[in-house]
Amino acid sequence: MTKKDEKKEDTTFTKAQLLKSKKYSERVDLLNVLLEDSKTYTSKEVDELVKDFMNKEVK
């Protein structure tokens, strides 16, 4: 992996930034529930949170 790729992967975003991003425009409501206002997240972390939530068994 090049340094540019590593740096891109390590970039963190606030909840507000993620809610405004094009990448997650289809999941705004879900992210609003899953993400905490005071934390920052990498894209990888957000993808994992969404994946885990979507794979949970319905009660």
Give the pTM.
Answer: 0.79
Cα separation, 59 vs 45, in Å, equals 25
Q: How confident is the model at residue 13 (pLDDT cuts 50, 70, 90)?
A: very high
Examine residue 24 and state whether it is found in any structural domain, yes or no: yes
Predicted local distance difference test score (pLDDT) of residue 34: 97
Contacts for 49 with CB less than 8 Å, ≥ 6 apart: 34, 35, 41
Q: 16: domain range?
A: 3-54
Percent of the chain with pLDDT over 90: 78
**Number of structural domains found in the chain:** 1
Examine residue 59 and state whether it is found in any structural domain, yes or no: no
Cα separation, 31 vs 44, in Å, equals 14
Residue 7 has pLDDT above 90, yes or no: no
Give tens-digit pLDDT for 30-56.
Answer: 999 999 999 999 999 999 999 999 999
